Amino acid sequence: MIRKILIANRGEIALRIVRACRELGIQTIAVYSEADEQSLHVQLADEAICIGPASGAESYLRADRILSAAEIGDVDAIHPGYGFLSENSEFAEQCESCNIIFIGPRSETIMMMGDKAKARETVSKAGVPIIPGSDGPLENEHAATKVAQKIGFPVIIKAVAGGGGRGMRIAHNAVTFAKEFQSARLEALKAFGNGELYIEKYLESPRHIEFQVLADMHGNMVHLGERDCSVQRRHQKVIEESPSPFLDKNLRNRMGKAALKATQSADYVNAGTIEFLVDAKGNFYFIEMNTRIQVEHAVTEEATGIDLIKEQIQIASGNRLGFTQKEISLTKHAIECRICAENPSKGFIPSPGEIELYSAPGGHGVRVDSHAYGGYTVSPYYDSMISKVITFGRTRKIALDRMYRALSEYLIRGIDTNVDFLKAVLMDPAFRQGEATTSYIEEFLARMPKDFLDKQSKD
Ligand code: ADP
């Protein structure tokens, strides 16, 4: 029985977890940095403990301080949210050795899937298609060039420990390869403390389609359909939706089966996501598994009606899944936009500062997950996302029209945001017709007048 949970995170996901716990009658402890003293997750949790100064490295990434807070608070479990320590296998292991339930998969699973070269190897052995590329990490530039020449250019160089689109470089020919390899290695070392790299064939304009999975400790597992996350900027997701406008029933079934095979190959427990790239012909390839709840989980919740955070807690408590694959369907169309404090006219640079006025959309078929409020200060220390808006309805058209309406209702003053940019995408015929691939934003901007971005900063 889980009675009390420490939430090792901040922002909207910390709030989201507080809400799920409250509905389950579970007590919560928030942890916070000095910059977050006034945050909603601190105010709404049952208890709150300060764990250090603003910098993430000195607070939300300090496993020792979080574990001390867990001990003081006498919690049964820790929910890591996404980012920070959520995919840190050492932290999961420390929780296990302190007899605190880590709400997520086992530490060995996190470690295995966190090594993207190893993950490729594991799922491939189970019969899940992967993109042609290197077997394991590449020793050096020389070995890498040989593999690149064998699979044929263009190739994408990726960090074994990668995440968030960092440490990734595209090489179009053997001449640029060496330079790209070096810069990917430096970036990976800086971002992850691990410079190991692998390569894959670079697919031109694929779709990014991922499957949400749930697995309990008793060997039961299901997938909850897909999320299409093709609308990306610098390999980072901006808009996500479920179902994907590209999949038909047959392809959904085949990809769902492959997602479950990948899940099984890792002997996985709890919620996870199997990410695939899909080409124009419908060939699909595994790229990675995320061993945590994701930002875009709400899209699946609204499409299926299943509360994923509650499911995570039920699974961690040792309960069996309460449904079978046959009982799950995508009964609604749901779409999410990430609202960020950033300035599109200045290359989308973050725009931290005090939000003078904040009023979020509402009404039928609209969900907003946000920690922002009027008077809240967006800190430069953390992610620039201030709000997620999810709209849903019976059809894709209803969800899209509703999204445009919802975006138009945001009143945010004091900081710049990407709201107007998102509205422009929502009105774009190519996006509305479901044609977006991972190259979409780049192509969209190329089609727009030169001064388009100058007019897209909502303040
Ligand atoms: P990260 O873990 O850093 O997010 P991923 O492996 O999940 O990296 O890839 C992120 C994005 O990068 C994908 O959604 C896709 O847009 C692009 N990408 C990754 N691998 C390839 C590839 N082989 N070909 C084309 N695009 C790719």
- Residue by residue, DSSP assigns 136-198 as S--SSHHHHHHHHHHH-SSEEEEETT--TTTT-EEE-SHHHHHHHHHHHHHHHHHHHS---EE
Whole-angstrom CA distances from 19 to 14, 26, 250, 326, 383 are: 9, 10, 36, 28, 21
Residue 202 Cβ contacting ligand 1 at under 6 Å: yes
Q: Which helix (H) or strand (E) holds 442?
A: helix 440-447
Give the mutation target among 277, 284, 442, 443 for probing the ligand 1 site: most ligand atoms within 8 A of CB: 277
- With a 6 A CB cut-off, is 113 part of the ligand 1 pocket? no
Spatial separation of the C-alpha atoms in residues 83 and 403, rounded to whole Å? 26
pLDDT of 459: 52
The predicted pLDDT at position 458 comes to: 53
Please identify every residue annotated as catalytic: 292
Say how many Å lie between the CA of residue 93 and the centre of ligand 1: 28
What integer pLDDT is reported at residue 129 of this predicted model? 98
Block means of pLDDT (10 residues each) for the chain, 459 residues, are: 97 98 98 98 98 97 98 98 97 97 98 97 98 93 93 96 91 93 95 95 97 98 98 96 98 98 98 98 98 98 98 98 97 98 95 98 98 98 98 98 98 98 98 98 95 76
Q: Is the CB of 208 under 6 A from ligand 1?
A: yes
Residue 237 CA to residue 164 CA, distance in Å, equals 9
Query: Residue 237 CA: which ligand 1 atom is closest?
Result: 14
Q: Where are the alpha helices (DSSP H) in 37-140?
A: 40-44, 63-73, 89-97, 107-114, 116-125
Length of the chain in terms of residues written: 459
CB 312 within 8 A of CB 212: no
Of 289, 438, 443, which is best to mutate to test ligand 1, by the most ligand atoms within 8 angstroms of its C-beta?
438
CA-nearest residue for atom 6, ligand 1, is: 287
Task: Pull the structure tokens for residue 443.
Answer: 């192509």
State the pLDDT at residue 165.
87
Residue entry with tokens 């959309």: 361
Q: How far is the CA of 50 from the centre of ligand 1 (A)?
A: 36
Ligand 1 atom closest to Cα of residue 232: 16
Residue nearest atom 17 of ligand 1, based on CA coordinates: 235
The single-letter code of the amino acid at 205 is: S
Q: Does the C-beta of 73 come closer than 6 Å to ligand 1?
A: no
82 CA to middle of ligand 1, Å? 18
Residues 101-140 have pLDDT tens digits of: 999 999 999 999 999 999 999 999 999 999 999 999 998 9
Under DSSP, the state recorded for 376 is: P
**DSSP strand pairing (77-79 vs 4-7):** parallel
Give the CA dihedral 216, 220, 224, 229, nearest 10 degrees: 60
400 CA from centroid of ligand 1 (Å): 26
CB 155 within 8 A of CB 202: yes
Tokens representing residue 119 in the block: 């993950």
Give start and end residues of each alpha helix (H) in 334-428.
396-409, 419-427
Whole-angstrom distance, CA of residue 242 vs CA of residue 92: 30
